[in-house]
Amino acid sequence: MKLHFLKFNPTENMTLLVTDPVPRELQGPLAARLMENRSIGAEQVGYLEKASLPGARARLQMMGGEFCGNASMCMAVFLTRDELPPEGEKAVEIEVSGAGRVKCALRREGPDFRCGVEMPLPREIRRVGDLTLVRLPGIAHFVSQYPVDQPEETLRSLARGLEEDAVGLMQYLPEKGLTPLVYVKDTDTMVWERGCGSGSAAVGAMLANEARGDVERRLPQPGGEIIVRSQWKEALSMLSIEGLVKIVCEGEACAEM
Report the domain count for the chain: 2
Same domain flag for 159 and 67: no
| Contact call for residues 156 and 188 (beta carbons, < 8 A) | no
Rg (CA), the chain: 17
11 and 104 co-located in one domain: yes
Answer yes or no: do 75 and 152 share one domain. no
Q: Which residues, other chains included, contact 180 with Cβ-Cβ below 8 Å and sequence gap of 6+?
A: 168, 169, 170, 171, 192, 193, 195, 196, 199, 221
CATH number for 88: 3.10.310.10
pLDDT tens column, 217-226: 999 999 999 9
Question: How many of the other CB atoms lie within 10 Å of CB of 104?
Answer: 25
Q: Does residue 157 sit in the same domain as residue 170?
A: yes
Give the whole-angstrom CA distance, residue 125 versus residue 21.
36
pLDDT surpasses 90 at 37: no
pTM as predicted: 0.91
- Residues 245, 257: Cα–Cα separation, whole Å: 30
For 57-68, what is each residue's pLDDT tens digit? 999 999 989 999
